[in-house]
Amino acid sequence: MQKFYYRFFIKLLDCLKQANEYILGGAAAISVLTEPTKFDGHIEHLNEVAVGSSKASIPIMRKDFLVDVRQILESRQYGASGVLLISDFLNRKELNNLLDCAFDHSMFVLLESFGKEDLKKSLSLLENARYSKRLETQQLLFGVNSRDLRTLDVNFQRLSSLAGEIPENVIKVAESGIKSKQDIIQIRSDGYDLALIGSTLMRTDQPKVILQDFLKIGRRQK
């Protein structure tokens, strides 16, 4: 069902048109899902959005299961200015290699965690000066995903329970399950700086309006 859901939306929605709605709505960046097996994404979607939105100078992030430096280079080649990495999928050596490749090519990284242990592993990177300095340049962001990657169920309380584990000087990103203005109020109260919102904006025929409303609420909570 999940694969059908994404296939339905990706094929019926014009990727660039959707991206332009996000830009008009005030998005800080655009995430493009390129995973082909489970979600019917495609690397060409990334290129289409990157080229089509180039005049807006908005960061474009590739969202996929990235495990090899060649995928980082591919992401850059197809126009991504950043990538999402899943901490739980990578050992320390692999994670270091992917981070170094991304930073060497002037890309930002959203490092995603799903639980306390992989968040701890992610944050331990900050003990290394070559990664902690990326906080100042906003090239390294830390995300918590409320969705179970295996079952796709959402546990929204995970965002609240893990928020306190992340240092204040880190850009914190709340991911998945964000559907309402009340959710925005909650994640801002928890200390999150940004939100990665996918399904809610894909389901509506007014993504620009929804996004503007969410941003308005979020800014009030500062």
Per-residue confidence (pLDDT) for residue 13, from 0 to 100: 58
Q: Which of 220, 210, 218 is nearest to 22 (CA)?
A: 210
pLDDT at 59 over 70: yes
The two three-digit tokens of residue 220, written as one number: 């009030």
- What does the pLDDT read at residue 150? 79
User: Is this prediction's pTM over 0.95?
Assistant: no
Give me the pLDDT at residue 39, please.
79
pLDDT for residue 97: 98
Give yes or no for residue 4 having a pLDDT over 50: no
Structural domains of the chain sorted by starting position, each given as residue range(s) with its CATH number in brackets = 2-220 (3.20.20.70)
- CA separation for the pair 14, 190 (Å, rounded): 34
Does the pLDDT value for residue 191 go beyond 90? Answer: yes
φ, ψ at 135 (rounded to 5°): -65, -40
Residue 220 predicted with pLDDT over 70: yes
Query: Looking at the predicted structure, is the pLDDT value of residue 167 above 80?
Result: yes
Q: Name the pairing type of β-strands 82-86 and 30-33.
A: unpaired
Per-residue pLDDT at 222 = 63
Phi/psi for 86 (5° steps) reads: -100, 110
Yes or no: say if 82 and 56 are a contact pair by the CB < 8 Å rule: no
Instruction: Provide CB contacts within 8 A for 113, sequence distance 6+.
Output: 87, 88, 119, 121, 122, 142, 143, 144, 145, 162
pLDDT, one tens digit per residue, over 61-112 is 999 999 999 999 999 999 999 999 999 999 999 999 999 999 999 999 999 9
- pLDDT range class, residue 48, cuts 50, 70, 90: very high
Distances (CA, A) of 125 to 68, 70, 134: 18, 22, 11
Q: What is the pLDDT of residues 131-142, one digit of tens each?
A: 999 999 999 999
Name the average pLDDT for the chain: 92
